[in-house]
Amino acid sequence: MAWLLVFIGGGLGSLARYSIARLLPPAELAEGHLPWFTLLANVLACILLGIGIGLISKNQLSRPLQLLLLTGFCGGFSTFSTFALELVVLGEEGHAGVAFWYLLLSLLGGMGALWVALVVVR
């Protein structure tokens, strides 16, 4: 049953990430555009994970929901490999400044979002 919950959550997370990418304009990395859709997906996944961990600490999130939402959905929704690729491409295309800001916004935004969600839920 655990595998099925992770599978379903991962599929739903992937669909949600794809939907965000379709709603926002594509990032032209060669032109130095910031990949907003990946940044947004990763920060939103951090918020969801923070809320989930906060609920777990209060014994308010069952193990099946942990598998479905945190392991599955967040795993399918967040995009570390895409994030890494976009950083490399921005650097290779001569947009080191944009790459730096993308790295900084992603790390601080993700950590900050997770921390705020934890604090609010706890």
Whether 58 is in a domain gets the answer yes
Q: What angle do CA 17, 19, 20 make, to 5 degrees?
A: 65
Whether 98 is in a domain gets the answer yes
Q: How many domains does the chain have?
A: 1
Supply the pLDDT for residue 1.
93
Please tell me the pTM assigned to this model.
0.84
Whether 72 is in a domain gets the answer yes
Which residues in the chain land under pLDDT 70? none
Give the list of residues 6+ apart from residue 24 with CB closer than 8 angstroms, or none: 36, 37, 40
Among residues 60, 15, 59, 66, the alpha carbon closest in space to that of 41 is found at 15
Whether 20 is in a domain gets the answer no
Whether 27 is in a domain gets the answer no
Q: What is the pLDDT of residues 54-88, one digit of tens each?
A: 999 999 999 999 999 999 999 999 988 789 989 99
Whether 17 is in a domain gets the answer no
Give the domain extent around 82.
35-121
Supply the pLDDT for residue 56.
94
Whether 28 is in a domain gets the answer no
Supply the pLDDT for residue 30.
87
